[in-house]
Amino acid sequence: MKRLKALAATAASVPITLFGLVLVTFLIGRVMPIDPVLAIVGDRAPADVVAAVRLELGLDEPLYVQFWIYLGKLAIGDLGRSVMTSHTVWEDIKRFFPATMELATVAILFASCIGVPLGVLAAVRQGTKVDHTIRVVCLAGHSLPIFVLALLSLLVFYATLHWAPGPGRQDIMFDEQVPAVTNFLTVDALLARDWDVLRDAVAHLIQPAAVLAYFAMAFIARMTRAFMLDALAGEYVITARAKGLSAARVIWKHAFGNIAVRLITIMALTYAGLLEGAVVTETVFSWPGLGQYLTVSLLNADMNAVLGATLVVGVTYLAFNMLADLLYKLLDPRVS
């Protein structure tokens, strides 16, 4: 019964949170000091054209009526049409979000696979040269501006060593070579069994994902270190050591097992953060992702696009939060 109640409470919080998100974004969009009509008709359009478009967009209605109309459309899955791309916002999201998701997924995999072992190592070797080295590496990850790292990476791996392809999601030779089924280029290439496109897509993915991963890795490594230090000081670890268990068993089974739950939350939220779109990385690597879409739309007061993209980010955040909560309950028997 308790579980059912908790589930119902969680389920009820989702629409309330999303409603709040849409309301706030809508209001910000409407009070923003940019005329949304400008994005459509430009600066030179005569007054009657401006007035006609204003009418067409429903901007002459009171704010609450505009919001009500938007909610009505949202209820039937109509996110409206983007001014900047001429497509429906839903079509845009289906194209831009997979690009971001592909990048973020590879980045979080890199970040976790490297960050967690580094964090554990730093904790185990606390105060040694290893710990200091890892700290410096992580500090650089936090402090180096991402555009500097992205450009340096391009300069070294693309322009000098020729190890990596240039910016973009794929080489122009492969443009439209595989049908866009999922819009995840690697998946579409796999579905089409086109290995050249797959190889090209993976090659284009590695460099921006690695740059993005560096920052996520720095955060995950520092958090892992902090959690591990806490765990290693625990009495159960001292007991385990006193029992004569191997160091590896003490570290990975006893200490790490206890921090895994907290780490999952950290990784889930970092992943959700990456999914919001890393605007700078996407800009330098000409990656057509959600971050760029959201930024361009916002600067042009393309409010349907901004609202749609914000909603996607919000849903993603909520989904990952809920997933983290679920995993928390599964992994930690103390959490009911």
Partner 1 sequence: MLSRRALMFTATATPFFSLAGEGWADTPKDMIVIGKAIDDIISLDPAEAFEFSGGEVTGNCYERLVVPNPANPDEIKGELAESWTIAPDGLSITFVLRAGRKFASGNPVTAEDAVFSLVRTIKLNKAPAFILNQFGATKDNVETMIVATGPLSLKFAIAEKFAPTFVLYCLSANCGSVVEKALVLKNEVNGDLGNGWMKTNSAGTGPFSVRSWKASESVVLDANPHSPLKTKPKRVFYKHIIDPSAQQLQLQQGDIDIARDLLPDQLKAAQGNPAFKLSSSPRSYIMYLCMNQNVPVLAKPGVRQAIKWAIDYNGIQKNIVPTTYAVQQSFVPAGVMGAIADQPFSKDSAKAKAMMAAEGVSGFEITIDHYNGQPGSDIAQAIQANLAEIGIKATLMAAEQRQVITRYRARQHQMAILSWGIDYMDPHSNAETFCVNVDNTDTARSKTLSWRNSWQDADLTQRALAAVKEPDSAVRATMYAAMQRDHHQRSPFALLLQSTEWAVMRKNLDGFKLAPLSARTMFDQAVKV
Dist. CA 129–CA 265, nearest whole Å = 29
Which span sits near partner 1 by CB under 8 A: 15-23, 27-35, 128-136, 216-224? Answer: 27-35
Least distance in angstroms from the C-beta of 159 to partner 1: 5
Among 122, 169, 214, 266, binds partner 1 (CB under 8 A): 169
Question: Binding residues for partner 1, how many (CB under 8 A)?
Answer: 60
Two tokens at 254? Answer: 């006893």
Among 111, 213, 301, 312, binds partner 1 (CB under 8 A): 301
Least distance in angstroms from the C-beta of 162 to partner 1: 5
- In sequence order, what are the beta bridge partners of 88? 81
Residue 133 vs 265, nearer CB to partner 1: 133
Residue 39 vs 250, nearer CB to partner 1: 39
Q: Alpha carbon of 184 to those of 82, 167, 181, 194, 211: distances in Å?
A: 22, 17, 8, 14, 20
Q: Helix-strand-coil percent breakdown of the chain, rounded to 5?
A: 75, 0, 25
The answer to whether the Cα torsion of 235, 236, 241, 242 is positive or negative is positive
Dist. CA 89–CA 290, nearest whole Å = 11
Neighbours of 183 (CB within 10 A): 16
Residue 41 vs 323, nearer CB to partner 1: 41
Instruction: Report 191-210 residues binding partner 1 (CB under 8 A).
Output: 199, 202-203, 206
DSSP for 24-74 reads: HHHHHHHHSSS-HHHHHH-SS--HHHHHHHHHHTTTTS-HHHHHHHHHHHH
Least distance in angstroms from the C-beta of 133 to partner 1: 16
Dist. CA 318–CA 271, nearest whole Å = 12
Crossing angle between the packed helical segments 303-331 and 2-31, to the nearest 10 degrees: 160
Instruction: Report 211-250 residues binding partner 1 (CB under 8 A).
Output: none
DSSP 6: H
Residue 264 vs 290, nearer CB to partner 1: 290
Which span sits near partner 1 by CB under 8 A: 34-42, 136-144, 233-241, 321-329? Answer: 34-42
Distance of CA 173 to the CA centre of its chain: 29
Residue 273 vs 291, nearer CB to partner 1: 291
**Per CB under 8 A, 265 contacts partner 1:** no
**Per CB under 8 A, 164 contacts partner 1:** yes
Residue 147 vs 328, nearer CB to partner 1: 147
Instruction: Report 39-68 residues binding partner 1 (CB under 8 A).
Output: 39-49, 52
Instruction: Report 270-299 residues binding partner 1 (CB under 8 A).
Output: 283-286, 288, 292-293, 296, 299
Which span sits near partner 1 by CB under 8 A: 68-76, 164-172, 268-276, 315-323? Answer: 164-172
Helix runs in 125-194, H state only? 129-143, 146-153, 185-191
Crossing angle between the packed helical segments 129-143 and 89-124, to the nearest 10 degrees: 160
Least distance in angstroms from the C-beta of 50 to partner 1: 9
**Per CB under 8 A, 125 contacts partner 1:** no
The answer to whether 241 and 220 are in contact (CB under 8 A) is no
Q: Which residues lie near partner 1 (CB under 8 A)?
A: 33-35, 38-49, 52, 82-87, 92, 95-96, 151, 154-155, 157-159, 161-169, 171-173, 175-176, 199, 202-203, 206, 283-286, 288, 292-293, 296, 299-301
